[in-house]
Amino acid sequence: MHSLSGGVDNKTKGFTLLELMIVLFIMVLGFSVVGINLSSGNDATALKAASRDIASALRFARGEALISHQEMTVNFNLIQNTYTVSRRDKIYAISKSIGVTLVTAKRELTEEGMGRVRFFPDGSSTGGRITLKKNKLTWQLDINWLTGQVELNDKDSSE
């Protein structure tokens, strides 16, 4: 009786320790790249959330000015990275890792690092631009002086 072995010898079954180490090394490199991408995604998410929150506060202030027939302001403290809405007690914090700049009418710059955007009862505003930056990511809020409309845009920092 003869047995057929199919041409496979016992030495080629399985993997060597070196082959396993190489595969593990490649997997670790792959996971580190994914981790780096996820952390930059957190930056983008935090920046987008802060931008949307500020846009919401600005739109709220405009709506309140229209409804109440009284001026409303959104006040920014750029030193402490906070903002408030007039006739509201709450102070809204912006992450310290986000850089905030405010461009508004000169009369609305109250003191060093302090400024505001004012909305009038007819829906118009003092207008302006608020820019939020984190690392290389930038979001920009434009407030139209004539209509008071707030527009939120994702900007490429290389522009």
pLDDT of residue 11: 61
pLDDT digits (tens, 9 = 90+) for 85-143: 999 999 999 999 999 999 999 999 988 899 999 999 999 999 999 999 998 899 999 99
From residue 101, give the alpha-carbon distance in Å to each of 28, 71, 96. Answer: 40, 23, 13
Tokens of 105: 């009418």
Specify the pLDDT at position 88.
Answer: 92
Q: What is the pLDDT of residue 37?
A: 53
Mean of all residue pLDDT scores within the chain: 87
Instruction: Please tell us whether the domain made up of 57-159 is placed in CATH 3.55.40.10.
Output: yes
- Residue at token pair 């400024």: 115
Strand, coil or helix: what is 13? coil
Q: What is the mean pLDDT of residues 136-158?
A: 89
Domain locations in the chain? 57-159
Neighbours of 45 (CB within 10 A): 10
pLDDT of residue 132: 97
Contacts of 89 (CB under 8 A, 6+ apart): none
